[in-house]
Amino acid sequence: MKEVPKFYNDLDLTLKEIEYLLSRGVKDRKSCFHYTILSTVNNKTPESRTVILRSFNKDVFELNIHSDSRSEKINQIEANKNVSCLFYDDKKKIQIRINGQAKIEKSYQPSWEKLTNWSKRCYLSENKPGTEVGKPSSGFPDRFVNESPTDKDSIEGLKNFSVIKVIISRIEWLYLASQGHRRAIFKILREGSSYKIDKKWLIP
C-alpha cells in the first residue's frame, strides 16, 4: 500500500499543500492546477467552464483569472458575484473546491502588461465571444492568424480585457487514499482587511 503523505492527518500541512498546489498551478502549465472549472450563476442556472489560473495570493487568499469583458461570465458575475472554482489532480488524487466572491477589474493594466502580444490577440475580436457567425472564425482579424499583433495593434484589446478576482471564502479539500479518504474545510473568516481561518476535518 502506498505510504500516506505528511499532510494526511494534519490540517495545517493540508492547508500548506493547498497553497503550494495553487501557487505551482499558476507557474506550471503541466500542473492540473493550472486550470480550474469556474462556475457562475446565470439567473438560477449554474454555468461552468475551464479557465486558466493566472495568480494565487496566499497572503490574502485571492486568485485571478483573465477573461474578455464582453463574455457571458462577466455579465453573470456582475449580476451575482458568488462563484466556485473546482480543481482535480487525477495523479495526486486531490480535489479542491473553492467558493468565493468575484470582483471584475476591467482593463487592468498590470496583468495586461504581463501578456505577450500573441496572447493579447484573443482580446482583439470585433464581435463579442459567443456571437453567432455564418462561417467558422477565430474572431480576430485574419492577419493575426499566423502573425503576432504589434504593440500598437494589441493595445486595442485592453478595452476588452478583464481580470476576475476571486476573494476566497472557503476551500474544501478531498484526498483519496486506499487507507481512507480525507476531507477538510477551511473557512476564510474575513474582518475588514484581516482574516482568520477556521479549519475542520469532514467525513469524506
**Which is nearer to ligand FMN, 74 or 96 (by Cβ)?**
74
Task: Give yes or no for residue 47 binding ligand FMN (CB under 6 A).
Answer: yes
| Alpha-helical runs (H) found in 86-204 | 109-112, 117-120, 151-154
For CA atoms 144, 29, 99, 166, the dihedral sign is negative
Tell whether residue 86 is a contact of ligand FMN (CB under 6 A).
no
Per CB under 6 A, does 108 bind ligand FMN?
no
Asked if 104 is part of the footprint of ligand FMN (rule: CB under 6 A), the reply reads no
Q: Does 198 bind ligand FMN (CB under 6 A)?
A: no
Find out whether 44 and 79 touch, Cβ atoms under 8 Å.
no
Choose, by CB under 6 A, the member of 73, 120, 121, 182 that binds ligand FMN.
73
67 touching ligand FMN, by CB under 6 A: yes
Q: Which of 52, 60, 104, 177 binds ligand FMN (CB under 6 A)?
A: 52
Q: In angstroms, what is the minimal distance from the CB of 66 to ligand FMN?
A: 5
State in angstroms the smallest separation of the CB of 167 from ligand FMN: 18
3-state secondary structure of 111: helix
Helices (H), the chain: 11-27, 72-79, 109-112, 117-120, 151-154
Q: Is 88 in the site for ligand FMN (CB under 6 A)?
A: no
Please check whether residue 171 is in contact with residue 188, taking contact to mean a CB–CB distance below 8 angstroms: yes
Residue at grid coordinates 475580436: 125
Residue 148 backbone dihedrals phi, psi, to 5 degrees: -70, 140
Per CB under 6 A, the segment of 66-74, 110-118, 131-139, 147-155 that binds ligand FMN is 66-74
- The one among 55, 71, 80, 111 contacting ligand FMN by CB under 6 A: 71
Give every CB contact of residue 67 below 8 A, 6+ residues apart in sequence: 51, 73, 74, 162, 163, 164
Residue 5 binding ligand FMN, by CB under 6 A: no
Residue type for 85, please?
C
Regarding 165 and contact with ligand FMN (CB under 6 A), the answer is: no
In the complex, the smallest distance separating the C-beta of residue 130 from ligand FMN, rounded to whole angstroms, is: 5
User: Across the strands, what pairs with 190?
Assistant: 195
State the residues that interact with ligand FMN by CB under 6 A: 35, 47, 49-52, 65-67, 71-73, 129-130
